Chain A
């Protein structure tokens, strides 16, 4: 199985993907995140009713979008440059198995758009259009 940590520089508690299920660089990526009570962002959001903050869903999609790149990003991170659109249609709770799918959009120079959606059991929770910027390679 694909080692996520070999592609992404993110580490716990901010590595938000568990598995990459499908990957066709430049075409499509499907990744998975299982939400658990142990996820640190659920401690305060909210103590009595844990649900995944919308911005974390967007971050999950951005991390999944990193796998659209063929090359590992350990030394050449990708940054979120713009959120063009984000819609949160239903909340994600502990126990939810989130399917994160992303497709690339148009790009120019270091920038490329990506469109993604988060589903749980086929139910659409979130859609987002993001702009990602490839960083400079670190020596």
Chain B
């Protein structure tokens, strides 16, 4: 359960989120909003990448302000640009990199990495240069590198924005099939089919919140 309590956040003097109160317990939660609406900041609050200027965010009772490391072990985060997430030269090494501080020995790490690469269709690319993968494959790698640590929650900030339609569908399908709780920030509204709840963010406030049909209708009305 993620609880956002009375959160206001500012970058300098600019208020990007204002008086946000949420309890996020559903398995599939979508977040939509125009560029600059505050939805990415909201997403970053959920795993402690951003600590709120006012209020608090709790993940299973852990405060992101005081227990950021423990929160990040529970909440994985996938960014829009996979290039910024790739650290190691090859695909397998990049996934293994997420486990360096896991305490697992090299054999156990290799086994877990092999399993994740197989699951994401990247097994044949294990020794390939990560930076030479296609955009879709890079995003799959970014997902694999996060999921190999087995987080309980996955927050994805527009993970398909830079992908072509085919790869976007593939990544969205993979995310939809995950056993984890997922919070998906997206501009692709069709990806929210079957979601339990959608939040509409505008001007730093959550202006609509509920089942997809109603929330997305409110969003459509908002953006005209």
Binding between chains A and B: no
Interface of A with B (CB < 8 Å)? none
